[in-house]
Amino acid sequence: MDETAVIWTLVLSGVLVGIINTLAGGGAVISMTLFMALGLPIGVANGTNRIAVVLQNFTSSVAFLRKRMLNVKSGIKLSIPAVVGNIVGSIAAMRISETIFTVCMTVVMSLVLIYMITDQEHKHVHIHGGRELDVRWWHYLWFLLLGFYGGYIYIGLGYVLLAVTIWSMKLDIITANVVKCFIIFVATPFSLAIFMINGQVDYVYGLWHGLGNVIGALLASHFALVLGAKFVRYFTLSILVVCFADIIGLISLHDWLHSLLTMF
């Protein structure tokens, strides 16, 4: 596969990942699979993915802020414990094994999928817009743990953030997505720095893929408001089912991507 084909693959897949992550979550499964199919070790793929994550969530947060959907004060309150957890999780991730990675992902995906399917309270919530959120003490504990998970693995973090904010803060899925994007944007640079210090980042792959993520995030932040909460919820469930099927072995995104790469 020549260099031009690799760049186009990274950018176009980045657009898809940016859309998926902004509206739902789980796009990092595609990013990680692609990076490893291109020859990066799991640790380097995990670190390289953080470049696109930062760029995509910065873009989404700015777009949501301009549309007055983001309350920065509430976002910062929740981001502080997430940053602490993210740093600790990233340090622990320096010795991550593929087995632990897979087990954690399977458990997380299973719990979130069950929650998203069985939750009925979403039918009775209203879009909060950019209003300040009611942040309680237990939310700080939740986001400390979520920050650790994000620093350690990251894949599936978007789904867990959505589940926690919808369940514990009674948010609609659009506002939950806004909060999710901002927290990930604030927390992820710290974990990225740790991966960079340890030499586990491929900057070329990360930046080209990040460019596609930015484009996807711009498109998705617009679609989220135009298409409404119902569309975003079903989109989220659809992507979650695909990611879960990949994790438990019903399908193989790695094989699909590898087949596509060999076509060039």
pLDDT value at residue 43? 84
pLDDT value at residue 168? 83
* Helical ranges in the chain per DSSP H: 3-23, 27-37, 42-66, 72-92, 98-118, 137-152, 157-169, 173-197, 203-247, 253-262
CA distance 103 to 166: 25
Q: Is 120 helix (H, G, I), strand (E, B) or coil?
A: coil
Q: Is residue 236 a contact partner of residue 163, using CB atoms and an 8 Å limit?
A: no
CA distance 166 to 174: 10
Which pTM does this prediction carry?
A: 0.80
Domain boundaries, the chain: 3-262
Question: Which tokens belong to 36?
Answer: 């490893």
Question: Each residue's pLDDT tens digit in the chain (264 positions)?
Answer: 678 888 999 999 999 888 888 877 777 878 888 898 888 988 899 899 999 999 999 999 998 888 888 889 999 999 999 999 999 988 887 776 667 767 777 777 777 777 767 765 555 444 556 678 888 889 999 999 999 988 887 777 887 888 888 888 888 878 888 898 999 999 999 989 999 999 999 999 999 999 999 999 898 887 766 666 677 777 777 877 877 787 777 887 777 776 776 666
The type of residue at 158 is G
CA angle 184, 53, 185 (to 5 degrees): 30
pLDDT value at residue 235? 77
Question: Which tokens belong to 149?
Answer: 């998970």
Q: What does the radius of gyration of the chain's CA atoms come to, in whole angstroms?
A: 17
CA distance 108 to 151: 15
- At which residue do the structure tokens 């939950």 appear? 176
Query: Measuring CA to CA, which residue among 3, 10, 1, 2 is closest to residue 35?
Result: 10
DSSP letters along 204-232, please? Answer: HHHHHHHHHHHHHHHHHHHHHHHHHHHHH
CA distance 160 to 146: 8
Q: Is residue 155 a contact partner of residue 162, using CB atoms and an 8 Å limit?
A: no
pLDDT value at residue 211? 96
